[in-house]
Amino acid sequence: MDKRIIEAMEKIVGVDWVASDAEKINSYITDETEKAIAPVPCFDCVVVKPVDANEISEILKYANNEDCIVIARGGGTGCTGAAVPIKPSIIMSLERLNKIIDVDDANMMVECEAGVTLFDLEDTFKKHDSLFFPVHPGDEGAQVGGMVVENAGGVRAVRHGVMRNQIKGLEIVLPTGEIIKTGGKLLKDNTGYDLTHLMIGSEGTLGVVTKAILKLYPKSSNSGSLLVSFDDKAKAVEVVPKILREGITPLAAEYIERDFMLRSAKDLGLEWPAKKGIVDLYFILDEPKEEQLYETSARIVEICDENGAVDSLIAETAKEQRTILEIRSHGYPSVQHMVVDILDVAVPVSKIMDYMNGIDELAEKYNATIPSFGHAGDGNIHNFIMTEDGEKPEGYEELSKEIYKLAVGLGGTITAEHGVGKVRNERLGIQFSPKHLEIMRGIKKVFDPNNIMNPGTGIN
């Protein structure tokens, strides 16, 4: 990396907060994208760790004047290579912006800096007596800023939605260095174009998020989980919209293929509690009163039984719930070495079955292994393209293209929560018209006239 750039960074943040040696920057140039599809990282980078929005503003002014690429770095848990530098870049780590500024009980909102991790946010609300924050992508190393710009979802989105539904205000440093604030602790705000929502899902291409105001919810002490088994995939996915239509909105409604769980449980030396059937639906419930928890559980089981469930199990104790969660969370790590790509499409909930049938047909056509796992309550099933050695199988490009076309043809989207990053850009034309893409590129140019923020990511 150019010595002048390193010195300029040292002048802004101090020598202790700048690193350019290969061994020090190693952990800042990759993310959690599967190896087979991850972009090749560029080592010619400098990592800089500002402490506040003012330092970030100085860095961006410098980069904009000198035409340097800047990549904001959160927890590096992204799955689409968005945080991976592919050209010489200034990698701006947000890790020092780690303060929870205010938990506002009266307005039920939390204001925090962008580098606060999901772990710290969870921990804060574990200790809080009456409020909680619902969004929970699977890796607690993710930071609030990364969750904002990736519009993160996760298992608990069925009832409360994704990040977009929680973000009430932001502090942003623009690529040209100005600091702006959007929104506030408001439940209604109709003034002008909504820049908060433009930033959500912008994947670090429109500016750096430095603070966020997030919505909170009353905590309920009556939570439980339910595992319902089916011997037919179709029956399992078809039952989810039926449950939602009855006005029952669980915190989570996950679709789990049994093979995955058996492998995961074996890895951990634990036992997956369901024995009958080949797939499970896993519901997490959270109700204000204990009787409601039992009533809702019973009704879900009843609806599932009417639709062909072969077994059900209520995890009542904390230990039982922990075992299921532990095995479920280990599902991905247990097969990680075999995974080529985790697709992240979403379709309308009513179309999940058509989508799954389409996946079965494509698996047969390409002689591929594509198990499914994921957020049935949101229409967001993750399909894992897998091979024995985790290398791309023959026909991979065509196969993934056909999966995207299948989803879009059913009224769906090519990515529900992981984003476009640097691995799905080529596929944007499947979903958007040229005019749609032109408008988005125009917006990028207004925010970032010199294209310094994370080029090659998302629509740009």
Ligand X SMILES: Cc1cc2nc3c(=O)[nH]c(=O)nc-3n(C[C@H](O)[C@H](O)[C@H](O)COP(=O)(O)OP(=O)(O)OC[C@H]3O[C@@H](n4cnc5c(N)ncnc54)[C@H](O)[C@@H]3O)c2cc1C
Give φ, ψ of 418 to 5 degrees. -85, -20
Measured in Å, how far apart are the chain's first and last C-alpha atoms?
A: 24
Q: How far is CA 31 from CA 255, 258, 328, 455, in A?
A: 26, 28, 22, 17
Look up tokens 């988005």; give the residue: 440
Q: Counting contacts by CB under 6 A, is residue 214 touching ligand X?
A: no
By the 8 A CB rule, do 300 and 248 touch? yes
By the 8 A CB rule, do 356 and 234 touch? yes
Look up tokens 């995939």; give the residue: 233
Q: Which residue among 76, 183, 412, 456 contacts ligand X (CB under 6 A)? A: 76
Q: Which residue among 1, 56, 79, 274 contacts ligand X (CB under 6 A)? A: 79
Smallest gap from residue 157 Cβ to ligand X (A):
8
3-state secondary structure of 378: helix
Q: Counting contacts by CB under 6 A, is residue 154 touching ligand X?
A: yes
Query: Is the CB of 140 or the CB of 232 nearer to ligand X?
Result: 140
Q: Which residue among 352, 417, 423, 447 contacts ligand X (CB under 6 A)? A: 417
Smallest gap from residue 283 Cβ to ligand X (A):
16
By the 8 A CB rule, do 70 and 174 touch? no
**DSSP-assigned letter for residue 165:** G
For residue 285, the cross-strand partners are 224
Dihedral through CA 287, CA 129, CA 282, CA 148, nearest 10?
120
Dihedral through CA 101, CA 158, CA 385, CA 402, nearest 10?
-110
Q: Counting contacts by CB under 6 A, is residue 331 touching ligand X?
A: no
Site mask, ligand X, residues 282-321, x = CB under 6 A? ----------------------------------------
For residues 43 and 37, give the distance between their C-alpha atoms in angstroms, rounded to a whole number.
Answer: 18
How many alpha carbons lie under 13 Å from residue 79 in its C-beta half-sphere? 22
Smallest gap from residue 324 Cβ to ligand X (A):
16
Q: Counting contacts by CB under 6 A, is residue 82 touching ligand X?
A: yes
Give φ, ψ of 209 to 5 degrees. -80, 130
Query: Is the CB of 144 or the CB of 314 nearer to ligand X?
Result: 144
Smallest gap from residue 160 Cβ to ligand X (A):
14
Smallest gap from residue 421 Cβ to ligand X (A):
7
- How many CB atoms lie under 10 A from the CB of residue 104? 14
Q: Which residue among 1, 48, 83, 452 contacts ligand X (CB under 6 A)? A: 83
By the 8 A CB rule, do 177 and 58 touch? yes
Q: Counting contacts by CB under 6 A, is residue 77 touching ligand X?
A: yes
Beta strands in 133-274 (DSSP E): 167-173, 179-183, 208-215, 217-218, 222-230, 252-257
Give all strands of the β-sheet with 252-257 in edge-to-edge order: 309-315, 222-230, 279-287, 252-257, 372-375, 380-386, 339-343
Q: Counting contacts by CB under 6 A, is residue 71 touching ligand X?
A: yes
Query: Is the CB of 70 or the CB of 243 nearer to ligand X?
Result: 70
Smallest gap from residue 141 Cβ to ligand X (A):
6
Query: Is the CB of 150 or the CB of 311 nearer to ligand X?
Result: 150
Query: Is the CB of 112 or the CB of 304 nearer to ligand X?
Result: 112
Q: Which residue among 208, 214, 239, 274 contacts ligand X (CB under 6 A)? A: 208
Which of 145, 174, 199 is closest to 63 using CA atoms? 174
Smallest gap from residue 423 Cβ to ligand X (A):
12
- Residues 425-454 touching ligand X, rule: CB under 6 A, are 454
Query: Is the CB of 161 or the CB of 409 nearer to ligand X?
Result: 161
Kindly indicate which of the ranges 42-50, 124-132, 144-152, 388-396 contains the residues binding ligand X, using the contact rule CB under 6 A.
Answer: 144-152
Smallest gap from residue 318 Cβ to ligand X (A):
22
Q: Which residue among 72, 285, 346, 410 contacts ligand X (CB under 6 A)? A: 72
- C-alpha gyration radius of the chain: 22
Kindly indicate which of the ranges 3-11, 47-55, 122-130, 135-143 contains the residues binding ligand X, using the contact rule CB under 6 A.
Answer: 135-143
Q: Counting contacts by CB under 6 A, is residue 143 touching ligand X?
A: yes
Q: Which residue among 145, 183, 277, 331 contacts ligand X (CB under 6 A)? A: 145
Q: Which residue among 46, 209, 407, 420 contacts ligand X (CB under 6 A)? A: 209
Which residues make up the interface to ligand X (CB under 6 A)? 31-32, 71-79, 82-83, 94, 114, 137-139, 142-143, 145-147, 149-150, 152-154, 203-204, 208-209, 332, 417-418, 454, 457
